[in-house]
Structure 1
Amino acid sequence: MHSPVLRVARPTNNLHKVTDFYTRGLGFDVLASFENHQGFDGVVVGRRGCPWHIEFTRQHGVTVERAPTTEHLLVLYLPERDAWSAAVERLEALGVTACESENPYWDRQGKTFEDPDGYRIVLQNTAWG
């Protein structure tokens, strides 16, 4: 029996910038990509062998809004300090500056960054659960 796979799908106007943010900044792999598939271009990023991935799509001729609130979060739990520091350093090397989280809980053991579409990514330096 196969385990469920989680796919988060999100539209973007900035397919190349978003891909760069998640691959170079967060260290994700490009797992798949497509161009002009029934009017959509897309990139699927994640970590090979993990049961989750994120799909970013750009629909030809359509403009999407930025993130609706600062509380639309993707939280990555990175309990090992070296891995957490490396992720923070990669984002900062791309010129991305940490921002104060709307919910102060995330600032206690983490740092929050905005992707090119205004969606926030929390790098949490603790284990989940």
Structure 2
Amino acid sequence: MNEPAKSAPVLRVARPTDNIDALVHFYRDGLGLELLSRFDAHNGFDGVILGGRGAPYHLEFTRAHGHTAGRAPTQDNLLVFYLPDATAYGEARDRMQAAGYAPVKSFNPWWDAEGVTFEDPDGYRVVLYNDSWKR
């Protein structure tokens, strides 16, 4: 007898920020994610959740009242989006640049071979990689 199919988990990447509105611009207007939710003064936190409706992942950025989050600890803190379709890759890259974000040289040169890296307002980096993940 076959086991019932299990749902794939949804991945939430959550991190603090001091710049919620700047991150909304970067991830929504630049990267093209949708603003799924926004909350203010929820148990001392303000925040946003961005992603795609029905996508198996989303990003949450929160600001704790009275606390400073600071910047990324290194230039190698990455979110990588694999975009194997050349047209989709080019559109994503162009949308980031049209939103005012210039590519940065990746700390690890591997990502520059088939991709482009952008740095968000907190110093965390997003790689748009023009290939599929092959593992």
Question: Taking structure 1 as the reference length, what is the TM-score of the superposition?
Answer: 0.96
Q: Tell me the matched-pair count.
A: 129
Alignment of 1:65-80 (within 5 A): 65-80=70-85
Which amino acid letter does the alignment assign opposite residue 93 of structure 1?
A
1:86 correspondence with 2:94: no
Percent identical residues: 53
Q: Give me the whole-angstrom Cα distance separating, in 1, the residues matched to 2:95 and 2:68.
A: 29
Give the aligned partner of residue 27 of structure 2: 22
Whole-Å separation in 2 of the counterparts to 1:121 and 1:3: 24
Match status 1:40 vs 2:45: yes
Deviation at 1:80, TM superposition (A): 0.8
* Partners of 2:56 and 2:75 in 1: CA distance: 27
CA shift digits 1:99-127 (9 cap, x unpaired): 11111110000000000000010000011
- Looking at structure 2, the residues matched to 91 and 50 of structure 1 have their Cα atoms a distance apart, in angstroms, of 20
Pairing 1:117–2:122 present: yes
Deviation at 1:2, TM superposition (A): 3.2
Pick one of 46, 51, 54 that aligns with 1:49.
54
- Output the amino acid matched with 2:63: R
Q: Give the secondary structure class of the aligned counterpart of 1:75.
A: strand
Unaligned runs of 5+ in 1: none
Distance (whole Å) between structure 2 residues aligned to residue 4 and residue 80 of structure 1: 25
* Partner residue in 2 for 1:100: 105
Q: Which runs of 4+ in 1 moved over 6 A?
A: none
SS at match of 2:123: coil
Give the aligned residue type for 2:120. D
Matched residue of 1:13: which SS?
A: coil
| Structure 2 unpaired stretches of 5+ | 1-5
